[in-house]
């Protein structure tokens, strides 16, 4: 999707020169065919070209493409934005490349604790699960919480008990084991030990570690032919996190938000900041109350609010007109989008 790539380059240039018209971000509405669109991410962080072999880069791009095409196919058949979000996220959860489902990172205790949330832009219904250990596709359970429980979020044992009642099979936690994530945990623990030798301050050591090891998460936002938008996010959290730690991904307004009147957002990044800055709802509030475009609102929150505060990460944003923005303040973000039958746009690094 060249136009979107062009738009990002433009946006980048805008932030360098300080002003710029973002009119090119607008989608021209077609009277005969409703706009359908989807944008996904597979995490943001220190994702630099030098760290990739050609094969690895191609494999990541192919998986992102598969996820965005899978979600788009749902929309193209007239499916709902919620169904498209879940379908795209399932592809990413089932891949060991991304920090969600099968590729989830390890906690300090060498287990996996998964978080996910989903929101329906039609009516602000939402569902979330936090700290689940035995759910293969946490985004599906988040949706069941939304649709079949009176609650928004269920955590830990309670969420798994609910899953049983809903005939969702419980899997072994070891299903999420991968060698590369285990190596990352060992490295993270070693880095913590090294840092604590210099300064025996656990919080400071953890702070240093976070810059390198926190990133992951998958998410999607979609617009269906009925004009409804939805957002969803799923994650394994942060390598070496304390057991019981919950990040922004299952928190409505922080990691996920959707309202047809403003926008749909799925976030990835240093969860503690995304919670404290209510990132997803702040972006949509700027769209709704200040009349900002999704590109302007996303750039403001990610680059002008979060970055100076020390919060790293990015978001995918979509409005009910099909405008897409995918800002991030890290070296890279796995991302892809597709709209109205145009070729899909797939990118990893900054200047794409």
List contacts with ligand ASP (CB under 6 A): 43, 214-217, 235, 237-238, 247-249, 255, 268-269, 271
| Tokens found for residue 128 | 């979330």
Active site residues: 217
Output 79 or 269, the one with its CB closest to ligand ASP.
269
Whether the CB-CB separation of 215 and 33 falls below 8 Å is answered with no
> Closest by alpha carbon to 328, among 339, 319, 317?
317
Output 79 or 216, the one with its CB closest to ligand ASP.
216
Give helix 156-165 / helix 138-148 axis angle, nearest 10°: 70
Output 137 or 217, the one with its CB closest to ligand ASP.
217
Tell the smallest beta-carbon distance from residue 276 to ligand ASP (Å). 12
Tell the smallest beta-carbon distance from residue 43 to ligand ASP (Å). 5
CA-CA-CA-CA dihedral for 234, 239, 240, 243, to nearest 10: 0
Output 25 or 114, the one with its CB closest to ligand ASP.
114
Whether the CB-CB separation of 154 and 145 falls below 8 Å is answered with yes
> Closest by alpha carbon to 123, among 226, 42, 238, 234?
226
- Sheet of strand 256-258, all strands in order from the earlier edge strand to the far edge: 256-258, 264-269, 313-318, 324-325
d(C-alpha 87, C-alpha 310), whole Å: 33
Residue number closest to ligand ASP, CB atom: 271
Output 269 or 322, the one with its CB closest to ligand ASP.
269
Tell the smallest beta-carbon distance from residue 338 to ligand ASP (Å). 22
| Tokens found for residue 299 | 């750039």
Q: In a 3-state reduction of DSSP, which class is residue 142?
A: helix
Tell the smallest beta-carbon distance from residue 159 to ligand ASP (Å). 16
Tell the smallest beta-carbon distance from residue 319 to ligand ASP (Å). 22
């Amino acid at each position: 999707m060249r136009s979107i790539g062009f738009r990002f380059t433009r946006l980048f240039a805008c932030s360098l020169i300080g002003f710029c018209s973002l009119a090119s971000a607008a989608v021209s509405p077609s009277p005969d065919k409703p706009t359908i669109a989807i944008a996904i991410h597979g995490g943001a962080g220190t994702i630099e070209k030098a760290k990739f072999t050609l094969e690895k880069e191609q494999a990541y791009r192919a998986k992102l493409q598969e996820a965005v095409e899978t979600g788009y196919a749902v929309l193209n058949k007239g499916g709902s934005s919620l169904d498209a979000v879940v379908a795209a996220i399932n592809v990413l959860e089932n891949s060991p490349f991304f920090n969600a489902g099968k590729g989830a990172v390890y906690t300090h205790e060498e287990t996996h604790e998964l978080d996910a949330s989903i929101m329906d832009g039609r009516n602000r219904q939402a569902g979330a699960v936090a700290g689940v250990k035995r759910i293969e596709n946490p985004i599906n359970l988040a949706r069941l919480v939304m649709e079949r429980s009176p609650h928004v979020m269920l955590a830990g044992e309670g969420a798994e008990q609910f899953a049983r009642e809903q005939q969702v099979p419980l899997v072994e936690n070891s299903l999420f084991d991968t060698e590369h994530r285990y190596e990352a945990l060992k490295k993270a623990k070693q880095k913590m030990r090294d840092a604590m030798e210099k300064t025996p301050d656990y919080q400071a050591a953890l702070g240093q570690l976070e810059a390198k090891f926190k990133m992951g998460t998958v998410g999607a936002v979609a617009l269906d032919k009925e004009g409804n938008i939805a957002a969803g996010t799923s994650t394994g959290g942060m390598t070496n996190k304390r057991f019981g730690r919950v990040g922004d991904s299952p928190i409505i307004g922080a990691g996920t938000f959707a309202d047809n009147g403003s926008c749909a957002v799925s976030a990835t990044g240093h969860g503690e900041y995304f919670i404290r800055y209510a990132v997803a709802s702040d972006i949509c509030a700027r769209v709704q109350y200040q009349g900002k475009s999704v590109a302007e609102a996303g750039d403001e929150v990610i680059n002008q609010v979060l970055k100076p505060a020390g919060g790293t990460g990015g978001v995918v944003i979509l409005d009910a007109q099909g405008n897409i923005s995918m800002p991030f303040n890290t070296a890279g973000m796995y991302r892809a989008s597709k709209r109205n039958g145009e070729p899909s746009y797939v990118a990893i690094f900054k200047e794409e």
